[in-house]
A and B are shown apart, each in its own frame.
Chain A
């Protein structure tokens, strides 16, 4: 490129005033753009920019010269010659770079001072060229990032009352290219943010009505497109993509509106609220809630969407926007409004003042209205505008209060909760009510007694609504129920808001009884799926964990376009739809669903009665042994083995099996003590022998202190291996039977009997003497008599626990006996082995797991109750609920 400068004696230093002067001469000599000098000119412009940026940081004389010679006007001269997109693009990019990189405020003022930038902004570029469009809109956006109370005056001219940066940009608000639209939105927000009074009043008076009326029309057309996409039941990949895009697009619109509203510019918000309410939300969204058969003949031709889509979109509105007074007015219409709002009543003086909301195209395109800005008051929109601005907020509210009494739309929404065919509509009705109920911008007084529990002096609730909700709960417990889990979850979430005040239920007795009935039904449903097997137990535990881990998030739910598809078409896992958002497919899934229904309703009914959950989780996996804690293993049976974990590294370990855990330990320096290296609940393990090596077992742990893993255990010989296998397998079975019995009790089912005899268990005992602990002989013994006591390990912040594998070493095994907790607590500390320092901590770190004694054959539910209440006493005492007594 530099060769182009050949004949002009180019200065050596490209970043210098000399070079700028030189380039100026080049420009002078090439005032007319031709095919021959095009490249040269582009390069000159680029170099000038570079020098300016350099000068901005290093030499102020550069800018002086630039201004003196009015060099920016050369840029304009070149533009005016219509020399094609190549030059234009380069020029726009050069300007972009210039404005992006100028740091010095004064330099920036210089550049902006003589209106040249505005002339460039209004230049009619060839916007059909996608490249020109992109560089142009980026240029405007870059400028908007430079706006502040000082610079705004270079762009907004008070005297001529124009603001080309803003008005030119918003003309592209509906450009087909999404990046262009985003740039426009960014620019508008940057402009509003500046907060200059006279500039804002220009925006409000000259542009707000045309811009917002076009914007809401644009949004409305997307909504209708979305509705068409939902009702076009193609149910193919295309429809799903299309739906996802349109839903995301609608969310984008709402977030944009919310971004404007939260800037809290009252003049602007007034106009925006008015347009949103009267040109979009009321006449399109709320209007679509009216059932077909209740439309006046004149109304049937008006644009509408299906009730489902309208409920869905209104939920999104309330989830995203919480700006008073918009949400408040909208809530008033929904809760109290009548059909009158869509009708002209000639006699009423009130409705003469109030405009009938209608979703109609703006009278002119935005470009037309902005270009004919001299007479904006002729448009319908601005008449509307002046009408509205004549009445104050207070008056408006009065008018609304007069007009809205009956609550037609609220009734319609409550009716939508009936799940006659399916729960499709009900789900969205629930979403809407829930999101109104949670919206921060709505005055609590408006909702109290209707959509939230209250008022606190005299709490009440809407009985019709609550009855509907309990009905959904009950329906979800029916064998072939068409209620999806998400619907039930949302029903319960809404009920909690309606009938729980300050943690206490305000339900009337009859309604409470209905909830309890539903709970019974859910137990019956769960019973029909109950199976005394591993799969059922695992499913139950998974469902419980899943429920606790992923509570319902309504905002995310309303971002998922797939729930718009009819639930009958989405009931297989192949659709990729999350389980809770679709109906179950096959028996396994039906069992899962029944369990979840049971769990959800159980949790809710416990909440209503103010009871604590004492029976769940079946297994508290956080309550496993802590790795690196030191425990006293005197009296425990240790089996020596080589452990090979995930990493393939071999480690010498001792295997200990207590009533609920498999533990791998490493001997501690203290005699008889061991450091826990890995622990897992017995119920979570699977043991298989190794075909190739009779000394080796392969143990899969679905949960352990090291996560899920499969490890190898190599024993000293095959006899010990066999014995260990037998013992692990048995212990696992017993652990599982106990869990299943816990489950059976939850489901009000008779408890399974077990025939396992404790005498068959093998215990390895190690000789007490000697520093090295080698497993001695294997000896089956009748009474398990190991008991460990715990000591706090420095690093494990006291969260270690002790075991007592045999609560009653003094007595012989007694299958039908409940072990009183006090007893266990006493036995936990073995005075022979535990130093006094350990005793101090026994209050917090000791816990008991009581049952080495195998499951009793005929435990009565009443026994169980007593035993659990005892535990609860003990858990209060130990602050954390640690020593979980499983079944006794």
Chain B
């Protein structure tokens, strides 16, 4: 399917906060979490519409690469958006946010949109982090914030779509250099009449990283 833009997201946060579940919940709504079976996955893509334009979101879960510095670094650099997830029932996952954010800020391009997600909002009785605390953290660090549940699907759409809207706005404002694929944004096949040198979705060329 053709699209106007492709945005690459990464999804980060401590283990067990629900990254994979959020991802699948967003990309494949058929996995309704009935029968108490929460299922996750580490990659997914989905089409959304913003401002009448088809936008494809590609979400890469970064689980399991903590051991390798090169991997973390590269993931951050290749993404236009990041969902930074903590688990509202486990305080330590909230406390680690600063470290995650430092890493993200250090390695990502400065325009990357970061959304803070407090996940598992369905587990109100076991809540360990107040919603206000999440809001305050987000305000202090200039992030968008939302509480979600991968289990009930509450706010999951919104989280991914709001992030996309923010990226889209940045493109409109001209902050994102969209001719540079290293930023995690690609222009769709039929949408780049201004730049004939840019073959979006071009395959097979052995060189990469070429941006000039």
Contact = CB atoms under 8 A, between A and B. Distances in A.
- Binding between chains A and B: yes
Interface of A: 1, 14-15, 46, 50, 53-54, 57, 93, 96-97, 100-101, 127-128, 130-131, 133-135, 138, 141-142, 145, 174-179, 181-183, 185-186, 189-190, 193, 221-222, 225, 228-229, 232, 238-239, 241-242, 245-246, 248-249, 251-252, 255-256, 258-259, 365
B210 interface: yes
Nearest to A92: B43
A133 to B, nearest CB: 8
Contact of B211 (A101, A131, A241): A241
A221 B207 contact: yes
Contacts of A189: 67-68, 71
B73 interface: yes
19 contacts: A54-B37, A100-B41, A127-B203, A128-B203, A135-B45, A138-B43, A176-B202, A178-B208, A178-B209, A179-B78, A181-B208, A182-B71, A183-B60, A186-B65, A225-B209, A238-B212, A241-B180, A245-B209, A246-B209
Max chain A Cβ within 10 angstroms of own Cβ: one of B68, B181, B208, B209: B209
A365 B207 CA distance: 13
A617 to B, nearest CB: 29
Contacts of A57: 37
Interface in B47-105: 58, 60, 63-65, 67-71, 73-75, 77-78
Contacts of B210: 225
Contact of B71 (A93, A185, A222): A185
B40 A256 contact: no
Contacts, number: 139
B12 to A, nearest CB: 14
Given A179-B58, A232-B212, A259-B71, 6 more contacts: A100-B20, A185-B71, A193-B67, A229-B212, A241-B180, A258-B69
B70 A256 contact: yes
B42 A96 contact: yes
Interface stretch (B28-36, B123-131, B146-154): B28-36
A364 to B, nearest CB: 13
A134 B43 contact: yes
- Of B74, B182, B205, B206, chain A has the most CB atoms within 10 Å of the CB of B74
Nearest to B200: A130
B177 interface: yes
B208 A174 contact: yes
B77 A252 contact: yes
B71 A186 contact: yes
B204 interface: yes
Contacts of B177: 241
B8 interface: yes
Does more than half of chain B's interface fall in helix, strand or loop, or is it mixed?
Answer: loop
Contact of A259 (B31, B70, B208, B211): B70
B161 interface: no
B42 A142 contact: yes
Contacts of B77: 178, 248, 252
B144 interface: no
Contacts of A222: 209
A578 B126 CA distance: 47
B39 A186 contact: no
Contacts of A248: 77, 182
Contact of B204 (A54, A101, A128, A183): A128
A245 B71 contact: no
A97 B209 contact: no
Given A178-B74, A182-B74, A96 B212 contact: no
B99 to A, nearest CB: 18
A131 B212 contact: no
Report which residue of A96, A128, A252, A258 has the largest number of chain B beta carbons within 10 angstroms of its beta carbon: A252
Given A15-B37, A46-B30, A259-B69, A178 B42 contact: no
B66 to A, nearest CB: 11
A15 B207 contact: no
A97 B24 CA distance: 9
A178 B6 CA distance: 14
Nearest to A1: B30
Contacts of B44: 93
Given A179-B8, A185-B74, A134 B69 contact: no
A318 B45 CA distance: 39
B90 to A, nearest CB: 20
* Most B CB within 10 A of own CB, among A46, A178, A183: A178
A11 to B, nearest CB: 14
Contacts of A138: 42-43, 60
A182 B75 contact: yes
B209 A259 contact: no
B101 to A, nearest CB: 18
A130 B69 contact: no
Interface string B160-202: 0000000000000000010011100000000000000000011
Contacts of B75: 179, 182
A381 B8 CA distance: 37
A178 B203 contact: no
A142 to B, nearest CB: 6
Given A93-B41, A178-B182, A225-B209, A54 B70 contact: no
Contact of B70 (A100, A178, A185): A185
A271 B117 CA distance: 44
B207 A176 contact: yes
Given A179-B58, A238-B212, A245-B209, A50 B181 contact: no
Contacts of A190: 64
Contacts of B68: 185-186, 189, 259
Contacts of A252: 70, 73-74, 77
Nearest to B205: A176
B48 to A, nearest CB: 15
B76 to A, nearest CB: 10
B71 A131 contact: no
B30 A251 contact: no
B188 to A, nearest CB: 11
Contact of A176 (B45, B67, B70, B203): B203
